[in-house]
Chains A and B, each alone.
Chain A
Amino acid sequence: MDQLTLSCPRCSQPVGEGDRFCEECGVDLGAAAATPAAPAAPPAAPPAGADPRAGIAAAAAPVPPGSTGDFVLAAPSRLLVSEAAAGAGPEAAEEEDHDPTEVVPVIDPDAGRVCVGCGAQSIDADGYCEVCGRPQPRPRDHQERALAGVCGVSDRGHRHHRNEDAFAVAATSRPGGVPAVVAVVCDGVSSATRPDEASQAAADVASEHLLESLESGTDPASAMHRAIMAAAERVEALASEGPLEPSRNSPACTIVSAVATEGEVTIGWVGDSRAYWFPDERSGSERLTLDDSWAARMVEAGLMPEAEAYADPRAHAITGWLGADAVEVEPHTVAFKPDAPGVVLVCTDGLWNYEESAAALAAVVPADARTRPLEAAQELVRFACARGGHDNITVAVLPCTPSISPVQNKES
């Protein structure tokens, strides 16, 4: 279990094990941990909406036996590495029930839950505080998952009220017994209806399809193409499965996925979520994907220099996505054989908005990313949050060791 799987009981941002105060909101973590049922010490500035009486009532309320009142999930994993979701409740367990690496919370996280906003001990069935109306941390606000060979971290950031990114990481083996790992990262389109559902559905369906195909021996490129098409179909179907908000588009998201097996890495994508290659030396770092975006198209067509294109307000308008409103889904796939040890990084624009080029981003990726991939993903998420966290941030890291054959880049 890594230190960063702890999160602040007040603002749900990740905190270090030895931290005495939350870096984000400044709450006294020692006091919060010692008396979880009480409001987290007098916060520097009492949040608007705090009811002084509520704090007294909460402190006086008995803590149910067997419950620490703490919703930080720190259950032991059955796997060699860890996974955790801040504020994970039973919903998280349901969402992920297909996953054999499932960690079942040993304590009821809802028992004696304390509002992260005002400290009142009254959370309603819809997950809002009955005193200040603040929504409580949701499983998706901050998620981490680590398997041997692939890790992912996703965070709400600071400026969006929910996490519309989603990811899936998985490990399996090819028919011959060679291991294969999969990472899928999706970014829900904010101006669409239910973008959070779109990204989750796409990530789940793509990863399931990839696992099935890889296990049955399908070559990674075909597997990737089919998985993205299956995800596209699923997201398209979402449009007819729920209410569509007037003046909003059908559910939509981007997708980027990486498969590493047999010394080869296969990338597939639609939209502006990206994959990068960072060899251990960092020289020779490169971006592996080409955005389906206005800026990328302008650069590609030679109409604008890169800097100018990305500074344009239209830069982020995407020209390809999964969803019922997409004209035609054309998954791009690319495969390469790493010739040196390094990591493949798969991420949403919540990260690369702050360092766009491979060279600049390489300076931020921790030197030991290959040997400590979860820490690297956490570090990158923290970096994006520190730079403002204007969007949701999702990062997946796949450590790669060199294969014998030389580099071969091919695009299909």
Chain B
Amino acid sequence: MARLTKSNLPQFAVDIFQNEYLADGAREVNAIVTVTATGGGTSAQVGSFSDGPDAAVVIMVDCSGSMDYPAAKIHAAREATAAAIDAVRDGVAFAVIAGTHEAKEVYPGSGQLAVSHAGSREEAKQSLRRLTPGGGTAIGTWLSKADQLFLSRRDISIRHGILLTDGRNEHEKPADLQRTLDRVQGHFTADCRGVGTDWEVPELARIASALLGTADIVADPAHLADDFRAMMENAMGKEVADVALRVWTPANASVKFVKQVAPAVEDLTGRRKESGPRAGDYPTGSWGDESRDYHVCIEVPSAAVGSEMLAGRISLVVPQPDGSTEVLSQGLVKAVWTDDLAASTKISPQVAHYTGQAELAGTIQEGMDAHRRGDVDVATSKLGRAVQLAQASGNEDTFKLLAKVVDVIDAKEGTVRFRKDVSKEDSMTLETRSTKTVRVKK
């Protein structure tokens, strides 16, 4: 474990868990990388903003016509947005966008971000009356507008969006949304929420994934305000943005995958950006005081028994204003070839655990996809396996969500029966939260 820090940043610690011993001829090296950021300003709030705002947030509220059916949705959305505005710290730049088939600036308007203080927050809340339903849904236009606003203040490093929708992205081609996501990703992070049950889980999950944020369901509009407040508080806790996981591998080695595995599964493999000889950066977004786990899998050239190799050097890097990068912390992944079978056949408990958690998430998604297609046999077998995995790994939350969708007959064997009366809310909740993982039991 190594620590490197600057006084105004949280301290990042990198811990590597792996079994470095490989059998003769083996080439795959697996490691769990635990990154923990501590000692930043979350515990002791930073009070001075003499240098200008340190964060910017944009709230995107769905104002499509469907938000009026029932009207409770638009009322709850206004209330939730107000609650979120109240949670914006003094000095933070913010804006509110009303989203339909196009994006309208609700506050402050004219392509700018307001600076938060008691007065501006009150004004913003007053302006929420202009969140009136009517029109379609084209989420890409909302994200483009948010992007414009963020880019008006490039000096602010922590940029975060909160997006609320109640329906499908109907008034825009999927390819257009994808193009927008490709363009804006890296500019800001965003948490996404679906209210009601008429939106599409994979669509929202894809947006949240691209923007390195969370996706969740708020089936009952009454719970929106609490959820928005919590999301905003979480955003206010971020202290350092654009942190990347840098993975160096030796010549002739390749990275098979890099996944965030806690608190939720997020495959980052395709997000690699080359960052020097044999090194690539995987984006992790912004960090407050928190801990996340990553599963890194590297394929190395085989070596003779008795050889050792540095299979990977994992570091946390953050870009500096001058274009260079600062290394916050780093850890080493090793490979040692041995003829001691007792050593090489041992699987690291962390690697085993998270391999199971990733399989759990994938199995639920496949099961729910099969269910949507009407293939109940496949759906039942997938969710049976999921129940088995959730039970074995102690992922109680996921187990409970599964039990609302299937009748568990034998959790150990994975024997389940699909419920006849599954509510849409329950199946969407299971699918949205399928990526949530639990950490290794100590």
Contacts and interface: CB of A to CB of B under 8 A. Distances in A.
Contact of A131 (B250, B307, B339, B342): B250
Contacts of B278: 131
A44 interface: no
A191 B336 contact: no
Contacts of B303: 48
Contacts of B308: 134-135, 161-162
18 contacts: A48-B252, A48-B301, A48-B303, A130-B248, A131-B250, A131-B251, A131-B278, A132-B309, A133-B249, A133-B311, A134-B307, A134-B308, A135-B308, A135-B309, A135-B310, A159-B306, A161-B337, A162-B308
Nearest to B339: A159
B340 interface: yes
A133 B338 contact: no
Contacts of B305: 159
B307 A49 contact: no
B176 to A, nearest CB: 42
Contacts of B25: none
Contacts of A161: 306-308, 336-338
Interface size class of chain B, counting residues whose CB lies under 8 Å from the partner chain: 20 to 34
B368 interface: no
A158 B337 CA distance: 11
Contact of A133 (B250, B306, B343): B250
A128 B306 contact: no
Contact of A126 (B249, B250, B252, B332): B332
Interface in A357-375: none
Of the candidates A118, A133, A191, A247, the one having the most CB atoms from chain B within 10 angstroms of its own CB is A133
Contact of A157 (B306, B313, B337): B306
A128 B339 contact: no
B20 to A, nearest CB: 9
A246 interface: yes
A129 B250 contact: yes
A249 interface: no
Nearest to A390: B339
A48 B349 contact: no
B427 interface: no
Nearest to B248: A130
Interface of A: 48-51, 54, 118, 124, 126, 128-135, 156-162, 190-191, 246-247
Contacts of B342: 191
A48 B302 contact: yes
Interface in B379-431: none
B346 interface: yes
A49 B306 contact: no
Nearest to B336: A161
By secondary structure, the A interface counts as: loop
B309 A134 contact: yes
Contacts of A246: 349
Contacts of A132: 250-252, 309
A135 B313 CA distance: 13
Interface in B237-254: 248-253
Interface in B184-203: none
Report, nearest first, the 5 A-B pairs whose CB atoms are least far apart.
A133-B250, A133-B310, A128-B310, A48-B301, A161-B308
B264 interface: no
A50 B251 contact: yes
Contacts of A162: 308
Contacts of A128: 310, 332
A191 B302 CA distance: 23
Contacts of B340: 190
B63 interface: no
A190 B339 CA distance: 12
B84 interface: no
Nearest to B253: A133
A51 B309 CA distance: 15
A303 B311 CA distance: 48
B209 to A, nearest CB: 31
A161 B339 CA distance: 11
B97 interface: no
Contacts of A160: 306, 338
Given A128-B332, A130-B277, 5 more contacts: A49-B253, A131-B250, A133-B249, A133-B251, A158-B306
A351 to B, nearest CB: 17
A247 B277 CA distance: 37
B306 A126 contact: no
B34 to A, nearest CB: 14
Contacts of B277: 130-131
